[in-house]
Structure 1
Amino acid sequence: MAFLEVNYYSRVLGMNRVMNVLLPEESDHNPNWTNDSLKDLPVLYLLHGMSGNHFDWQRKSDIERLLRQTKLAVIMPAADLAWYTNTDYGMNYFDAISQELPRKVASLFPQISTKRKKHFVAGMSMGGYGAFKLAFSSSYFSYAASLSGTLISSLNYPGFLDMEKQAYWKGIFGDLDKFSGSKNDIFELAKRQSNTGIELPKLYAWVGQQDFFYGANEKAIPRLRKMGYDVSYETNPGDHEWYYWSKYIENILQWLPINYQAEKRLS
């Protein structure tokens, strides 16, 4: 598995950006992997959380080790603190990640599939919100997964706005009283998508029972199922921390429609 740090220019944001990439390659560990067999690869966009960056999954989880036997490319973009959103201060992070980035990936890595059925997205916390948002409002992703995701329908969720100053939240979402029903409300986006008649993305969510977003997830899942979404939902004892996200990312890999091969104990 090759690891690449890719610096590229984003026309949407008007600045240089960076993404980390895990890319299946020919190696002694996988003698049957050849250039001919490493084509039309499925891809997982793996999103970081608040205060994180494109290195989080690489440094804090076992994602590279878990995928050593599996033909799956992983794209880990940087979204800063922008909540995968076209911010009110004029920086269109959502467009950059939901539209421009897949085109950039297709240009730089032609061995990665461009088919929706092979495009997946997942994330933790803020990235869980981002994963569902991308799946509900773009045509690129057929599967979306959230770990401890911020699956809230109102910014008045207890303690949420206390995480940062109000000026920050206004810069991200604009008028905070108009969040519900807006382009940033994932339930509004899910409802709009469900009314289009297109094939809906399959969803997965996990949250720990001691996580402060546990209540939000408990309410979100039945709501999404009522709209017609196929949601696989798990909850176990656990908190809002990397120990659990590193553990349950493997559940996501097992859930995805890929030939996931659990790591063999190689020397």
Structure 2
Amino acid sequence: MVHLKINYFSNALLKDCQMDVCLPDENKTKDKLPIIYLLHGMSDDNTSWIRKTRVERLLKSTKVALVMPNADLSWYANTPYGMNYYDEIAYEIPRVIHELFPQLSDKREKNFVVGSSMGGYGAFKLALSTNKFSYAAALSGAFNPKSNLVLRSFRPEKYWYGTLNQLDDFDTSVDNLDYLAKTRSTSEPLPKFFAWCGKQDFLYQDNLNFINTMNQLNIPIEHKFTDGKHDWYYWDKYLEEILKWLPINYSPEERLS
């Protein structure tokens, strides 16, 4: 794949930003290419999917584009202190991508979002709160940031009060996935959802709880729980399962059994 480093000015954040984009080496078809947005987790950035997984190699024979934005420690939120990361990634980056790369599709059925940890939360958040993505997948999704004690090991509590909206009233917050699922408009088509989490992951119970909520709301979600921890080794291991699940005509690399 062709790997591009994109520097652009974000109007949502009022600062220079970066993202990584991967494109097929060639595209001889007239059809516009599907896009997978890959969202990173806490302590990672827009380079993490390329550096820590096999994604570029796995997709070398598949006609699909990858977009990897940088969300810092924002939890893909419009923060109370005025940094609108949600607006940037939900609306601004897709606009920039389609202006720069007109060969990429802007159709919902060809736009997908996948994330790990905080990025898994971001993937489901974008899929539940917009009508831009038809498939969303999470690896060790951090689906309930309010209950996530690991946040406090990254930054003091006052930092998170400036990041996640309505932390004191999270039940009705736009950053609460349960609330987004319960209030999602029934007039718009539902995305397809997939979640993987390791049974030894500290987010395992959060994953069980969120999937139970989705089931109670009659929102279909495929899920798989296996042995595994909160680690790129396992996210890379199960990435190919997501690529097979997405409607991208995935062409696996040739392997000896």
1:157 positional shift: 4.5
Cα 1:88/1:117, change in 2 over 3 Å? same
- Please show how residues 129-140 of structure 1 align to structure 2 within 5 Å: 129-140=121-132
Name the TM-score, length of structure 1 as normaliser: 0.92
Q: Could you tell me which residue of structure 2 aligns to residue 178 of structure 1?
A: 169
Alpha-carbon distance in 1 for matches of 2:64, 2:120: 20
1:206 alignment partner, one of 181, 196, 213? 196
Q: In structure 2, what residue type is equivalent to 1:67?
A: L
Root-mean-square deviation (CA, aligned residues, Å) is 1.6
- 1:192-218 CA-partner distances (Å, limit 9, x unpaired): 11x433210100000000000000101
Counterpart selection for 1:231 from 221, 225, 228: 221
Task: Work out whether residues 201 and 229 of structure 1, in 8 Å CA contact, stay in contact via their aligned partners in 2.
Answer: no
Residue 16 of structure 2 aligns with which residue?
16
Q: CA offset at residue 21 of structure 1?
A: 0.6
Q: Which residue of 1 aligns with 2:182?
A: 191
Q: Aligned equivalents of 1:43 and 1:228: distance in 2?
A: 27
Per the TM alignment, residue 229 of structure 1 is displaced from its structure 2 partner at its CA by: 1.9
C-alpha distance in structure 2 between counterparts of 1:133 and 1:174, whole Å: 14
Residue 217 of structure 1 corresponds to 207
> Of residues 240, 245, 267 in structure 1, which corresponds to 2:235?
245
- Alpha-carbon distance in structure 1 between the residues aligned to 2:195 and 2:239: 11
Following TM superposition, by how much is the alpha carbon of 1:120 offset from its aligned partner in structure 2, in angstroms?
A: 0.2
- For structure 1, list consecutive stretches of 5 or more residues without a partner in the other structure: 27-32
CA drift at 1:258? 1.4
What SS is found at the alignment partner of 1:259?
Answer: coil
Percent of aligned pairs with the same amino acid = 48
Separation in structure 1 between the aligned mates of residue 191 and residue 89 of structure 2, nearest angstrom: 18
CA contact (8 A) 2:79 2:164 kept: yes
**TM-score, with length taken from structure 2:** 0.95
User: Following TM superposition, by how much is the alpha carbon of 1:219 offset from its aligned partner in structure 2, in angstroms?
Assistant: 1.3
After TM superposition, the structure 1 stretch with the greater mean CA deviation from structure 2, 7-16 or 109-118, is 7-16
Paired residue secondary structure (1:261): coil
TM alignment of 1:156-171, pairs within 5 A = 156-157=147-148, 159-171=150-162
Equivalence for 1:108:
100
Alpha-carbon distance between aligned partners in 1 of 2:5 and 2:198, rounded to the nearest angstrom = 31
Establish whether residue 82 from structure 1 lines up as the match of residue 93 from structure 2: no
Q: CA offsets per residue over residues 164-200 of structure 1, 9 Å max, x none?
A: 211111110244221222110011111111x433210
- The residue that corresponds to 1:95 in the other structure is 87
2: distance between equivalents of 1:180 and 1:210?
Answer: 27
2:36 and 2:65 in contact (8 A); partners too: yes
Contact 2:131/2:188 (CA < 8 Å) preserved in 1?
A: no
C-alpha deviation, 1:38, in angstroms: 6.0
Q: How do 1:26-41 residues align onto structure 2 when only pairs under 5 Å count?
A: 26=26, 33-34=27-28, 37=29, 39-41=31-33
Q: What residue number does 1:48 align with?
A: 40
Shift in alpha-carbon separation, 1:172–1:256, aligned structure 2, 3 A: same
Q: Which of 241, 251, 254 is equivalent to 1:261? A: 251
In structure 1, give the amino acid aligned to 2:61.
Q
Q: Which moved more, 1:160-169 or 1:138-147?
A: 160-169
Q: Which amino acid aligns with 2:211?
A: I
2-structure distance, mates of 1:38, 1:68: 19
CA contact 1:82–1:172 (8 Å) conserved in 2: yes
Q: Distance in 2 between matches of 1:203 and 1:161?
A: 29
Alignment size in residue pairs = 256
1:123 to 86, 95, 115: 115
Residues 146 and 206 in structure 1, CA contact (< 8 A), matched pair in contact too: yes
